Amino acid sequence: MVNSTLVVTLYVNPLTGNDTNTGSRLSPFKSLTRALKLTKIPTIIHLESGNYSAASGEVFPLVIPGGTTVVGNEAKKGAGILIYGSGEHQSPSFGMQNITLLLVDNACILGVTVTNPSVRGTGIWIESAVPTLANNTLSDCGREGVFTTGTAKPTISDNIFVQNTASGLVMAGHSQGEVLRNVFQRNPLGIAISDFAAPTIANNKLSENRTAIALSRNAQPVMRQNLIAQNTQGGLLVNGNAVPDLGNTQDPANNIFRDNYEFDLYNATTQKLVSVSNQLNSSLVKGLVELIQINQVAVSTSYSDTPTQSPSQKIFASPELDGHWAEPFIQALVSMNLTHAFADSSYQLDKPMTRAQYADMVAIAFNPFSKILAPDFTDVPKDFWAYSAIQIAASSGFVGGFSDRTFRPDQHVQRLQVIVSLVNGLGLPAVDSDILEVYSDRHTIPNYARKAVATATRWGIVVNYPDPKVLASSRLATRAEVAAMVYQALVAIGRTPPIKELFN
């Protein structure tokens, strides 16, 4: 006997639907409110483009019960699907609140835009629940985009929190859960963590907020591999008795703090914080902080400068490397145990690199998180030497396949493809294309890649030898060039110090 769970699928279209319809694809409801009244068993509710507001029949707050998944436009982070409104909710912890959505139990909301226009309004309220929020946009809320409290343990991933009046995300009470790969931009506070909340905050990008992350009371978040850049006041502010986990020698944090105005890290408490392998501007670290770089023999306290790899340090000797312009990069990668084994066990630095070799290098160098399910490429059997590396690189966004479901592992990669791949795989924040003026052949850069090339240039990833003014975007990338750019990308995300005195 086969056990199965019946799942109901409903459709909503605020433009063409009617709440007297059946809720099928051909006969959709007009309002999400109507669909939610029918969620007695596991239900998937598909939202078509349009505004979901009081004017279209919505009654707020909208309560998404456990077992219900609301799906909009995940590919575009909810673009064109706006849930706009506010209603009163009596919170057991915080009293009466004005909220747009209440997520209950294991509810899921995917691919919508949420705006609460009310003063002190919250987009999504989560209290002692374990919901999933992914690929949404929380914008222009009167207070914050998302508020979690009680014993909430949500998974909040791949969302955009932009231009909310007070905060992008607030985590209070005993909240835990995971906050992964989100973008927080132009909020007074990107993330505020208070009370006894102890979430994992990893691989997020926080930029152009006033303060990126503020901790208070007894907050104890775990922070890993976040990019905290260009915030108008500062990066991480620690108040009260808060103690963030900023890494240890077995598990370095690898957060990047860059170009923040007043401070990267401000410890306003009386207890010492320990920072392990975070990229910080030493002049922007305030308060009692011990800075540790795990690659250093010595431990430096409070305001030490980032160490620099000496190009003269040779980990091993090789006639092929001796005198080669890329030798310092290769030596540095060897010292970090990040060398990759080509199929023929040879560097062959000036030969073009294949797609399989590139996937192998980024998989080892970055050990990236999986973002999507990697496809089974028809031309990459499981016994292929780079099968695992290709799966890792594909699932993390560094590489992709072709429309015929092939990967073409022996095809060579162009310099432009490497540059775009590194920017996309690492999720670096885009910069203005004006920086491309440094290249004499900038007119050869395709329009689709200009932002990525500008971003890679700004973050110091692009390596052009012997002429730094010539990008040569369409030329096949040599193994030396890829190794150098991968090393520079590791520098950009704070995994390793820069190599000085290479070439001009």
pLDDT attached to residue 339: 66
Is the pLDDT score of 2 beyond 70?
no
Residue 347 has a pLDDT of 66
Over residues 177-235, the pLDDT tens digits come to 999 999 999 999 999 999 999 999 999 999 999 999 999 999 999 999 999 999 999 99
Name which residue leads in pLDDT, 32 or 469.
32
> What band does 500 get if pLDDT is binned at 50, 70 and 90?
low
> What average pLDDT does this structure show over 233-238?
96
The chain-wide mean pLDDT, for the chain, equals: 88
Residue 238 has pLDDT above 50, yes or no: yes
Q: Which domain holds residue 452?
A: 327-353+412-492
Average pLDDT over residues 296-302: 29
* Res 308: pLDDT: 37
Span 19-44, mean pLDDT?
93
Per-residue pLDDT reduced to its tens digit, 111-132: 999 999 999 999 999 999 999 9
**Residue that finishes a domain, picked among 138, 173, 189:** 138
Structural domain count, the chain: 2
Structural domain includes residue 255? no
Q: Helix, strand, coil % (nearest 5) of the chain?
A: 15, 30, 55
Q: 26-30, 327-331, 490-494: which has the highest mean pLDDT?
A: 26-30
Is residue 237 one of the residues assigned to a domain? no
Question: How do 273-276 and 285-286 pair as beta strands?
Answer: unpaired
Residue 496 sits at the vertex; the CA angle it makes with 363 and 369, to the nearest 5 degrees, is 30
Instruction: Place 501 in a pLDDT band, splitting at 50, 70 and 90.
Output: very low
Tell whether pTM > 0.85.
Answer: no
- HEC assignment per residue over 392-453: HHHHCCCCCCCCCCCCCCCCECEHHHHHHHHHHHHCCCCCCHHHHHHCCCHHHCCHHHHHHH
| Structure confidence at residue 326 as a pLDDT band (50, 70, 90) | confident
Give the model confidence (pLDDT) of 34-92 as tens digits: 999 987 778 999 999 999 999 999 999 999 999 999 999 998 899 999 999 999 999 99
**343 in any annotated domain:** yes
What radius of gyration, in Å, describes the C-alpha atoms of the chain? 25
| Domain-located, residue 262 | no
Q: Is residue 38 part of a domain?
A: yes
Strand 62-64 with 87-91, pairing: unpaired
pLDDT tier for residue 344 given thresholds of 50, 70 and 90: very low
Q: Does residue 500 form part of some domain?
A: no
Structure-block tokens of residue 229: 């850049």
In a domain, 453, yes or no: yes
Report the C-alpha gap between 227 and 186 in whole angstroms: 15
pLDDT band at 504 (very low <50, low <70, confident <90, very high): very low
In a domain, 66, yes or no: yes
Burial 9-48 (b: 16+ CB within 10 A, else e): ebbbbbeebeeebebeeeebbbbbbbbbeebeeebbbbbb
Query: Can the peptide bond before residue 466 be classed as cis, meaning omega within 30 degrees of 0?
Result: yes
Number of Cβ within 10 Å of residue 487's Cβ equals 26
Which residues 6+ apart lie within 8 Å of 434 measured at CB? 454
